[in-house]
Amino acid sequence: MPTREDVLKELSKVKGPDLEGDIVSLGLVSEVFISEGRVIFSITVPAERAQELEPLRQAAERVVAKMPGVEKALVALTSERKGGGGQPQQAQPVRPAPAAGDAGSVPPPMQARGAGAGAKAGGSTAKPGVPGVKSIIAVASGKGGVGKSTTTCNLALALQANGLKVGVLDADIYGPSIPRLFHVTGRPEPVSGRILKPLEGYGIKVMSMGFLVDEETPMIWRGPMVISAITQMLREVEWGDLDVLVVDMPPGTGDAQLTMAQNVPLAGAVIVSTPQDLALIDARKGLNMFRKVDVPLLGIIENMSYFLCPDCGNRHDIFGHGGARTEAERLGVPFLGEVPLDMEIRETSDAGTPVTVSAPDGPHARIYRDIATKVQAEIERNREDGHRAAPNIVIES
């Protein structure tokens, strides 16, 4: 396995823009991440020169891919976006527009279908969808520890039980849980060029950074690398024909959420919260963030809503109760349902046999199927309302 120094030594052979110096000495190469034959990094270039400098990215990728021990090199172009007063802000991913008939690394744009696929008012074009995917929904939370990934997994399986073709994208780069929840291991195989074949668990196509790095390897990445990884997992995966792609977002309101809103026409977002006030405060932030980027809100799920004592049968509202429902009513957002705090849900999730699979006729599976039905109804309602416009990012000074 090559070291970071080995990779940088090879990259120093790649000439910089305008053939001046090399990309390493010019400081254009980001932190290099290496894990089990994968080498991932980005190259900083001016945004307006992205298409012109695509050969530079390809050259860097080829150089690293030829190194002994390297199975795959993933290289992205990023650019520094200037804020007010000329101060640099966060780096953003940039991709060259594909030439006509180009069969390069990025699949050609396909007319998006489903909510969010229509053109914006004024005649501007919508964000390109993912080929073959009718609707993309994000499952998000304002904070961690509320059971978002478990909810994502069971929601996806419930949508499948309702007759849909479903895929799951694990966009939680720092804490990918989807591989364990679906009991899937292995490495995605290349189909052609940079396109990867997703793995499959319980009949659902799954893609996660957890397939590319060891479970105990920490992802010490800055924003640009997170953005690049999510974009590649979204667009450089052969998803095939799907009715719904469910995206497990990382907690909070940051790079990943904005990347999804900027790059694809989301059919909507589902917010997961627990009942207590502290969780609801963060849930409101998530709701407001999606509203600011014009992503439809499909509803709120109250997870760990109550506890039914298995011995006495009494109900205990450990974290309070009804907070998410009240918040949904106050904000005019659909309330999708209450999921109890239950050992069976926790144990089956940890074992990689989600309750919607291990006990499909049980009470918990019925709760998730009911939530899935409501989510489907909201997607259809938004579609019938006239295909919402693609997200428009607004940066407030």
C-alpha of 211 from chain center: 14
**Mean per-residue pLDDT, 240-258:** 82
Burial of 310 by CB count in 10 Å (0-12 exposed, 13-18 middle, 19+ buried)? exposed
Q: What is the pLDDT of residues 334-373, one digit of tens each?
A: 999 999 888 899 899 989 999 999 999 999 999 999 999 9
- Domains, in order of start, for the chain: 4-94 (3.30.300.130), 133-384 (3.40.50.300)
For residues 337, 343, 345 and 350, what is the CA-based torsion angle, rounded to 10 degrees?
150
Residue in 112, 205, 116 with CA at minimum distance from that of residue 165:
205
CB 327 within 8 A of CB 288: no
CA distances from 347 to 37, 103, 315 (A): 33, 45, 20
CA–CA–CA angle 99, 103, 104 (5° rounding): 85
**Mean per-residue pLDDT, 134-152:** 86
Identity (one letter) of the amino acid at 281?
I
What pLDDT does 79 receive? 63
CA–CA–CA angle 361, 346, 220 (5° rounding): 130
Per residue, the 3-state secondary structure of the chain, as one string, reads CCCHHHHHHHHCCCECHHHCCECCCCCCECCCEEECCEEEEEEECCHHHCCCCHHHHHHHHHHHHCCCCCCEEEEEEEEEEECHHHCEEEEEEECCCCCCCCCCCCCCCECCCCCCCECCCCCCCCCCECCCEEEEEEEECCCCCCCHHHHHHHHHHHHHHCCCCEEEEECCCCCCCHHHHCCCCCCCEEEECCEEECEEECCEEEEEHHHCCCCCCCCCCCHHHHHHHHHHHHHCECCCCEEEEEEECCCCCCHHHHHHHHHCCCCEEEEEECCCHHHHHHHHHHHHHHHHCCCCEEEEEECCCCEECCCCCCEECECECCHHHHHHHHHCCCEEEECCCCHHHHHHHHCCCCHHHHCCCCHHHHHHHHHHHHHHHHHHHHHHCCCCECCCCCCCC
Place of tokens 């919402």: 388
Per residue, the 3-state secondary structure of 232-257, as one string, reads HHHHCECCCCEEEEEEECCCCCCHHH
pLDDT over 80 at 110, yes or no: no
Most confident of 4-8, 73-77, 96-100: 4-8
Q: What is the pLDDT of residues 372-395, one digit of tens each?
A: 999 999 998 888 775 444 444 444
What pLDDT does 264 receive? 75
CA-to-CA distance for 35 and 301, rounded, in angstroms?
Answer: 36
Residue in 130, 291, 247 with CA at minimum distance from that of residue 195:
130
**Mean per-residue pLDDT, 191-196:** 82
What pLDDT does 171 receive? 85
Q: Comparing 173-182, 209-218, 267-276, 329-338, which segment has the lowest mean pLDDT?
A: 209-218
For residue 341, count other CB atoms closer than 10 A to its CB.
Answer: 18
CA-to-CA distance for 155 and 220, rounded, in angstroms?
Answer: 29
What pLDDT does 252 receive? 67
What pLDDT does 97 receive? 41
What pLDDT does 280 receive? 64
CA-to-CA distance for 110 and 242, rounded, in angstroms?
Answer: 14
